[in-house]
Amino acid sequence: MFSNLNHHIDTLAIHAGQSLEQEHGSVTTPIYQTSTFAFHDANEGAELFSGKRKGYIYSRMGNPTTRALEDKITVLEGGHRALATASGMAAITTVYTAFLNQGDHIVSTDAVYGPSRVVMEKDFSRFGVQYSYLDTSNLDNIRKAYRPNTKMIYIETPANPTIAITDIKGAADIAHGIGALLVVDNTFMSPMLQRPFEHGADVVIHSMTKFLNGHTDVVAGIIIFKNQELFDIAKLVLWRLGGTIDPHQAWLVLRGVKTLPLRMAKSQENATALAEFLEQHAKVSWVKYPGLKSHPQHELSKKQQDGPGALISFGVKGGYQGGKMLMDNVKLAILAVSLGGIETLIQHPASMTHASVPAVERSATGITDDLVRLSVGCEHVQDLIADLDQALGKILV
């Protein structure tokens, strides 16, 4: 396996976790599209099940294609081991199940990815897990939310869709001071732009559906751990629950990650230009983008990120109706949920992803009626600017 960690992350994105296939010399990791693996004899089978021998038994419990992907992302994030999952939510629910018990308390970002919060409020609460959702970009809020039974601080930074940024090191110091785990959802940044383990995280999560895969054709997730102990706990939970990734999906993400540095660089370049354009537009009230000096955590973003990323939130004049009008008039940007693809996606949370949340509750977490989220892709930036300009021009205020 290629494992020279001294290489630049651009090189590691292509080579880490992979090696030439031995029998035929395949440059690309083969797809081991099999449910089960044969043993040479009974003794080998017994040793594999007992853990005395390393190898593969059943694809729910591990697969060579999946392992190559897990090793690649582990190297990019600077972690110890990883578990690839069938979706981002499979990763999140595995972490919740593995590290939270009945009566435990979790502190989390209020504007976190919606299903991450809903599954806690609707499902894990039924089993006695307590929760506090708050603005984690203010570390004092985390400190005040502490309870003797707080076992996990779960942050998403930047937050979805408000682009609020949480100080990872500050959150880690608080978590470790109270004996809790710090879990960081790093989906928005990818390891190209942010590596939470460098700032004290214990567990890092990604929806690989987004930037890691980058082509809007896979649903997948991954959990990376800082040590073997945490990995071993979560591994058994994932095996029992069965939320493991299919080998073919793993192979598609392996392919996607190889172009991650190129895609992130182009998307970020485009996003910077678009944010600057939007900040000056007459139909735009405000812009939240870490690369702008107007972002409340601009200096923090420069400290813990290697770039501002490719996600922009902005407010359109005309509020709720203005947001819908913009959605109905874009021609190049695709009106769709999700993010991190090579194409630009746009959505209006108040009328789409968060429409079922009462307006007062949305507003309290920063998801206002005028908020539009833009996931910037790799198109030519002037085409994107022209598209947004003509669509914004249709808003009547």
- From 32, 113, 131, 133, active-site residue: 113
- From 71, 104, 185, 369, active-site residue: 185
- HSE-CB for 82 with a 13 A CA cutoff: 28
Give the residue among 213, 208, 204, 198 at the shortest CA–CA distance from 181.
204
Containing 303, the helix (H) or strand (E) segment is: helix 298-304
Assigned token pair, 373: 């989220």
Q: How far apart are CA 80 and CA 71, in angstroms?
A: 9
Give the residue among 200, 262, 258 at the shortest CA–CA distance from 226.
200
- From 56, 60, 146, 255, active-site residue: 60
Apex 369 CA angle, 156 and 307, nearest 5 = 35
- From 81, 151, 210, 362, active-site residue: 210
Decide: 185 and 155 in contact? Cβ < 8 Å. Answer: yes
For residue 106, what are the β-bridge partners? 131, 152
Q: What is the DSSP string of 76-110?
A: HHT-SEEEEESSHHHHHHHHHHHH--TT-EEEEET
Does residue 328 carry a catalytic annotation? no
Give the residue among 111, 329, 301, 343 at the shortest CA–CA distance from 217.
343
CA 15, 19, 24, 28 torsion-angle sign: negative
Does residue 143 carry a catalytic annotation? no
Decide: 190 and 211 in contact? Cβ < 8 Å. Answer: yes
Q: How far apart are CA 205 and CA 249, in angstroms?
A: 17
Does residue 210 carry a catalytic annotation? yes
- HSE-CB for 205 with a 13 A CA cutoff: 26
Tokens 């099940």 belong to residue: 49
> Which segments of 19-167 does DSSP mark as H helices, in order?
42-50, 64-77, 88-99, 114-122, 139-145
Does residue 154 carry a catalytic annotation? no
Residues labelled as active-site residues: 60, 113, 185, 210
